Amino acid sequence: MDITGIRKDFPELEQKVHNHKLIYFDNAATSLKPFPVIEAIEEYYSKYNSNVHRAGHKISSLATIAYENARKKVAKFINAESNDEIIFTRGTTESINFLTDILQDSILNNGDEVVLTVMEHHSNIVPWVELRNTLGIDLKIIDINDKGELDIDDFGKWFSEKTKVLSITHSSNVLGTINPLKKIIKEAKKRGVVTIVDGAQGIVHSKVDVQDIDCDFYCFSGHKIYGAMGIGVLYGKRALLEVLPPYQQGGGMIEKVSFDNVVYSSVPYKFEAGTPNVGGAIALRTAIDYIESTGLEQIIEYEKELLDYATQKLLDIEHLTIYGTAVNKDPIISFGIAGIHHYDLSTLLDGFGIAMRSGHHCAQPLMNRLEIDGTSRISFSFYNTFEEIDYFTDKIKIVKKMLI
Ligand code: PLP
């Protein structure tokens, strides 16, 4: 890949931070945006900003076509069987809240069990804890081994005849572990369990094929795959979407309304009440175009090389521990250095222009499991370079000398 050329597409990389060239290693939180995505948003708002579906005029039909083309693009990107299986949301968090909301009105009852894993992001924990408190469901939490891989040799331990839902992350935003989704979902399906995948990280670094994974639902956010903030996706199998109740009520999701009765629209429109984020959907389509024209396979391969290189360099630093050493890993490295608080490290590295993250990464139960209060985390994208990793590890050594 022509990394120098690719970097020119990302205007944020041009700037200096504290008089140093920006090194952006916080990609798991959100990715930078390439020019085509920024231009797609500008073009929509300056040329054909209009509400979709409900008007007969020219610019509304342009907006509607672009919005529906975005749906088609997403469907093809994740190999959904039909465009109607793609629902636009605000992001992963809303997609999961959407599901906990509609499943409590349909599938889940008091005493039912929901299986999660200890490596979930808060967005796939908090809504379920709320449901435990309000509906009386039980939560079963799959544990990890020392490498940060799921303990799934004995499914009988985690699933019972009361299990109704499995909600699992595709990959961990802390450990980087890529979970063996197909294997787990196959076991869940054997037991008639509804399966939900939090793909917030997984969508960024894998070729997702929802039919092959065979999950019932797959959730992700546009902003982590070079799209805008405020747009996300909930993929759902059509057969389930047909029978589930809507998430929100209002305009755009109805066939007929009277004060006595409401007839809902068909899937997916019954799940998209109100004015959608049209500009966000169009930008997401452009982001996917950008990924495809760069080459997803090449991206994945290059990011893996960055991961391996950085892992080796970090392991050479004394007193440094890496959390998450799974065989299958996304390009995310969480680590700690004995004697240095992770906040001090990220603050001092910021002074050298390095943007990285420290803290619990919205995964406090995982921090408890690891018996730590937080980590430093770097996460790569295909615009990062080996030279940036060298610079980063050199600066860590300087900070170590300052603090220890
Ligand atoms: N799930 C995982 C694994 C994540 O890493 C994140 C964000 O970092 C989320 C869910 C929430 O995504 P969003 O804030 O875009 O809704």
- CATH number, domain with residue 330: 3.90.1150.10
Q: Do 325 and 278 fall into the same domain? A: no
Query: Would you give the end-to-end CA distance of the chain in angstroms?
Result: 40
Averaged pLDDT, 318-342: 97
Q: Determine the pLDDT at residue 326.
A: 98
Which residues does 241 contact at the CB level (< 8 Å), separation at least 6? 84, 85, 87, 267, 268, 271
Across 108-112, 157-161, 256-260, 371-375, least confident range: 157-161
Q: Do 122 and 245 fall into the same domain? A: yes
Domain-located, residue 33: no
**Gap from CA of 198 to ligand 1 centroid (Å):** 8
Q: Do 212 and 357 fall into the same domain? A: no
Q: Do 71 and 212 fall into the same domain? A: yes
Q: Do 269 and 299 fall into the same domain? A: no
Residue 155's pLDDT band, with cuts at 50, 70 and 90, is: confident
Q: Do 185 and 278 fall into the same domain? A: yes
CATH of the domain at 137: 3.40.640.10
Q: Which atom of ligand 1 is nearest to the CA of 123?
A: 10
Domain-located, residue 19: yes
**Gap from CA of 234 to ligand 1 centroid (Å):** 13
Predicted TM-score (pTM) of this structure: 0.98
Domain-located, residue 188: yes
Q: Determine the pLDDT at residue 105.
A: 79
Q: Which atom of ligand 1 is nearest to the CA of 362?
A: 8
* Last residue of one domain, picked from the residues 237, 257, 292: 292
Q: What is the pLDDT of residues 7-34, one digit of tens each?
A: 999 999 999 999 999 999 999 999 999 9
Q: Determine the pLDDT at residue 165.
A: 98
pLDDT at 55 over 80: no
Of 175, 120, 131, 198, nearest to 362 by C-alpha is: 120
pLDDT at 4 over 90: yes
Q: What is the pLDDT of residues 104-149, one digit of tens each?
A: 979 999 999 999 999 999 999 999 999 999 999 999 999 999 999 9
Burial class (CB in 10 A: 0-12, 13-18, 19+), 110: exposed
Q: What are the start-end ranges of the H helices in 222-277? A: 238-243
pLDDT at 358 over 80: yes
Q: Do 283 and 311 fall into the same domain? A: no
Q: How many domains, in total, are found in the chain?
A: 2
Q: Do 329 and 249 fall into the same domain? A: no
**Gap from CA of 220 to ligand 1 centroid (Å):** 8
- DSSP 3-state assignment of 168? strand
Q: Do 171 and 311 fall into the same domain? A: no
The amino acid that residue 343 corresponds to is Y
pLDDT at 54 over 80: no
User: Of 129, 320, 362, 372, which residue is the catalytic one?
Assistant: 362
Q: Do 213 and 300 fall into the same domain? A: no
The amino acid that residue 47 corresponds to is K
Q: Which atom of ligand 1 is nearest to the CA of 170?
A: 3
* Last residue of one domain, picked from the residues 268, 292, 316: 292
Q: What is the pLDDT of residues 172-225, one digit of tens each?
A: 999 999 999 999 999 999 999 999 999 999 999 999 999 999 999 999 999 999
Domain-located, residue 308: yes
Q: Do 240 and 302 fall into the same domain? A: no
Q: Which atom of ligand 1 is nearest to the CA of 90?
A: 16
Q: Do 262 and 315 fall into the same domain? A: no
**Gap from CA of 124 to ligand 1 centroid (Å):** 9
Domain-located, residue 32: no
Q: Determine the pLDDT at residue 354.
A: 98
CB atoms within 10 A of CB 139: 14
Domain-located, residue 321: yes
Residue with CA nearest ligand 1 atom 12: 92
Residue 154's pLDDT band, with cuts at 50, 70 and 90, is: confident
Which residues does 232 contact at the CB level (< 8 Å), separation at least 6? 88, 89, 90, 91, 92, 93, 94, 95, 219, 220, 221, 222
Pocket of ligand 1 (CB under 6 A): 29, 91-93, 121, 123, 169, 173, 198, 200-201, 221
* Last residue of one domain, picked from the residues 262, 292, 322: 292
Residue 299's pLDDT band, with cuts at 50, 70 and 90, is: very high
- Residue-range definition of the domain harbouring residue 123: 38-292
Q: Is 215 part of the annotated catalytic residue set?
A: no
